[in-house]
Amino acid sequence: MWRIKSALDLDRIGDIVVTPKLTHEFCDLAGGDHRGGGDHASLHAQDSLIPFMSTLADPPRRPTSVDLVPHIENHFNSLTR
């Protein structure tokens, strides 16, 4: 649900949010696509959940890609304390 809420909070989004079926891809407005690689983060768990291994004491329990930056910052900040 947080992915849908995050999408709807964007300034540049319209009134409708569409997500492709798994293994399908939408082209972006410039005509590009990411066939054979990453995509524009569909709302499916397969595109939201990522493998994650950590040595920190309190890593995110079910991390997604938005969890990575603060986690990495915390890691490197802990090295300078």
Q: What distances in angstroms separate CA 14 from CA 1, 24, 65, one per listed residue?
A: 18, 21, 24
Handedness of CA 10, 12, 14, 16 (dihedral sign): negative
Q: What is the pTM of this model?
A: 0.41
pLDDT in tens, 12-40: 777 777 888 877 777 767 766 666 655 55
Report phi then psi at 49, rounded to 5: -95, 140
Residues 51-75, mean pLDDT to the nearest whole number: 75
Report phi then psi at 64, rounded to 5: -125, 175
Among candidate residues 26, 21, 52, 51, the one with its CA nearest the CA of residue 39: 26
Q: What are the extents of the domains in the chain? A: 1-48, 52-81
Chain-centroid distance of CA 68 in Å reads 9
